[in-house]
Chain A
Amino acid sequence: GAGVSQSPRYKVAKRGQDVALRCDPISGHVSLFWYQQALGQGPEFLTYFQNEAQLDKSGLPSDRFFAERPEGSVSTLKIQRTQQEDSAVYLCASSDRTSGGRDTDTQYFGPGTRLTVL
């Protein structure tokens, strides 16, 4: 079956522009996560959805960051008024996890979107 897909793979934005990053999770996966990965660092948690509900957005760095998953499948991460410090790889991951059941903890990552803000 198809894995997690993300688009675009690369995005160059001028400072101040708005960007939208898309994630298509593995079909049927309930949980969806967004991460930000700076060069030489591990992924940092941004936000988590269970179906269409955004259960945790504590990692979003500012109110310029907004994520949605209106129908419980595809998700979009939007960054408004981009700044140079937003330059990073944005990773999306999905899992079959709901609550309980350790076998479903595993997250599967998409290829990421590399965002460069000039």
Chain B
Amino acid sequence: QKEVEQNSGPLSVPEGAIASLNCTYSDRGSQSFFWYRQYSGKSPELIMSIYSNGDKEDGRFTAQLNKASQYVSLLIRDSQPSDSATYLCAVLYNFNKFYFGSGTKLNVKP
């Protein structure tokens, strides 16, 4: 069983702060890593993908991958109340199977 672990939260940060979301995965054969955002009652929407060790930045979002530690994280700078949602970490294994974590609920307080 491939496992993707996330702290369920809620993670509360004040508006303008940096939110740090973490994810660990069990299978070293995992190839691609994704962060999805899911608002309550809505479907997941892609924020970022990352494939190589290191950092990848896109606007206020930075994804970090460390394959040796089997760890992927998402940093959200200048957090806004509209960022309040559940953040899902997803890991692609064997080219066609995605495993999702249970999500971390983020609450950005005005």
Q: Name the CB-closest residue of B to A92.
A: B43
Q: Could you tell me if B95 and A44 are in contact, using CB atoms closer than 8 angstroms? A: no
For this complex, into which size category does the number of interface residues on chain A fall? 20 to 34
Q: Name the CB-closest residue of A to B96.
A: A48
A2 CB contacts on chain B under 8 angstroms: none
Q: Could you tell me if B102 and A40 are in contact, using CB atoms closer than 8 angstroms? A: yes
Within the complex, the shortest CB–CB distance from A86 to chain B, in Å, comes to 19
Contact flag A42-B96 (CB < 8 Å), given A109-B44, A111-B43? no
Q: A residues bordering B, Cβ < 8 Å?
A: 31, 33, 35, 40-45, 48, 50, 55-56, 91, 97, 99-100, 102, 105-112
Question: What are 11 pairs between A and B in contact, CB < 8 Å?
Answer: A31-B96, A40-B102, A41-B103, A42-B4, A55-B96, A100-B95, A102-B32, A106-B34, A106-B49, A110-B43, A112-B43
